[in-house]
Structure 1
Amino acid sequence: MKTYFRSFCLLGGLLAGQQTAAQVIARYTVQAGDIERHNSIVHIRLEQPADTESLLLEEVTGKKRVPVAVTAAEGALWWVLEGRTPAGAQRSYELKKANRKTSVAPVMQVTDNHSALVLQQGLQKNLQYNYATVEPPAGSDTVYRRSAFIHPLWAPNGAVLTNAFPNAGHRHHMGIWNPWTHTSFEGRETDFWNVQKKEGKVRFVKMESVTVGNAWCGFSARQEHVAFLKDGTEKVAINETWEVRAYPATDNGKRRLWDITSLFTPATADGITLLQYRYGGGFGLRTTASFTASTSQVLTSEGKTRKDADSTRARWVKITGTTPQGKAGLLIMNAPANYDSPEPLRVWPENMEGGELMLNYSPTKMKSWTLTNGNEYTLTYRVMVYDGDITPAEAEAAWKDFAFPPVVRKE
Structure 2
Amino acid sequence: MKAPIRTICLLGGLLAGLHAPAQVIARYTVQAGDIARYNSIVHIRLDQPADTEDLLLEEVAGKKRVRVAVTAANGVLWWILEGHTPAGAQRSYELKKANRKLSAPPVMVVTDNQRALTLQQGTQKILQYNYAVVEPPAGSDTVYRRSAFIHPLWAPNGAVLTNAFPNSGHRHHMGIWNPWTHTSFEGRVTDFWNVQKKEGKVRFVKMEAVTSGNAFCGFSARQEHVAFLNDGTEKTAIHETWTVQAYPATDNGKRRLWDITSRFTPATAEGITLLQYRYGGGFGLRTTPSFTAGTSQVLTSEGKTRKDADSTRARWVKITGTTPQGQAGLLIMNAPANYDSPEPLRVWPENMEGGELMLNYSPTKMKSWTLTNGNEYTLTYRVMVYDGDLTPAEAEAAWKDFAFPPVVRKD
**Cα distance change of structure 1 residues 279 and 228 upon mapping to structure 2, 3 Å threshold:** same
Kindly indicate whether residue 254 of structure 2 is the aligned counterpart of residue 260 of structure 1: no
The 8 Å contact of residues 41 and 81 in structure 1, kept in 2 or not, is answered as: yes
Which residue pairs with 2:292 in the alignment?
Answer: 292
CA distance in 2, matches of 1:20, 1:361: 53
Q: Say whether residues 1:63 and 2:63 are aligned partners.
A: yes
Q: Does 1:315 align with 2:320?
A: no
Matches within 5 A, 1:282-361: 282-361=282-361
Alpha-carbon offset, residue 102 of structure 1: 1.9
Alignment match, 1:131: 131
Instruction: Give the Cα separation in 2 of the matches to 1:60 and 1:15.
Output: 23
Confirm whether residue 180 of structure 1 aligns to residue 180 of structure 2: yes
Q: Secondary structure at the match of 2:152?
A: strand
- The alignment partner of 1:168 has SS state of coil
Once residues 353 and 330 of structure 2 are traced to their aligned partners in structure 1, the CA distance between those partners, rounded to angstroms, is: 21
What SS class does the counterpart of residue 313 from structure 2 fall into?
coil
- Paired residues in the alignment total 399
Q: Take 1:15 and 1:198, find their aligned partners in 2: how far apart are those partners?
A: 65
SS at match of 1:399: helix
- Aligned residue for 1:397? 397
Tell me the alpha carbon deviations over residues 16-43 of structure 1, each in whole angstroms, 9 at most, x when there is no partner.
Answer: 9638711111000000000000000000
Structural mapping, 1:47-126, within 5 Å? 47-126=47-126
On the 8 A contact 1:18/1:98 being kept in 2, the answer is no
Q: Distance in 2 between matches of 1:376 and 1:201?
A: 20
Structure 1 residue 158, shift from structure 2 partner: 0.2
Written as runs of structure 1 = structure 2, the 5 A alignment for 1:168-207 is 168-207=168-207
Report how far residue 214 of structure 1 moved: 0.3
Q: What SS is found at the alignment partner of 1:395? A: helix
Q: How does 1:274-285 map to 2 (within 5 A)?
A: 274-285=274-285
- 2:20, 2:99 within 8 Å by CA — same for their partners in 1? no
Deviations 1:170-212 (A, max 9, x none): 0000000000000000000000000000000000000001000
Post-superposition Cα deviations, 1:26-66, rounded to whole Å, max 9, x if no partner, equal: 00000000000000000000011113211000000000100
Partner of 1:385: 385
Aligned residue identity for 1:116: A
3-state SS of paired residue (2:365) = coil
SS of match in other structure, 2:398:
helix
Q: How does 1:35-54 map to 2 (within 5 A)?
A: 35-54=35-54
Residue by residue, what CA displacement relative to the aligned partner does 1:121-156 show, whole Å, maximum 9, x if unpaired?
001000000000000000000000000000000000
Distance 1:179 1:338, change over 3 A: same
Separation in 1, partners of 2:108, 2:377 = 29
Does the Cα contact within 8 Å between 2:52 and 2:213 map onto a contact in 1?
no
RMSD across aligned positions (CA): 1.2
Distance 1:264 1:244 in 2: 15
Structure 2 counterpart SS, 1:394 = helix
SS at match of 1:245: strand
Distance in 1 between the 2:122 and 2:329 partners? 21
1:297 partner letter: Q
**Match for residue 373 of structure 1?**
373
Structure 2, unpaired ranges of 5+: 1-12
How many Å separate the matches in 2 of 1:18 and 1:339?
51
In 1: Cα distance, 2:313 partner to 2:126 partner: 28
Unaligned runs of 5+ in 1: 1-12
Percent identity over the alignment is 90
Runs of 4+ more than 6 Å apart: none
TM-score by length of structure 2 reads 0.96
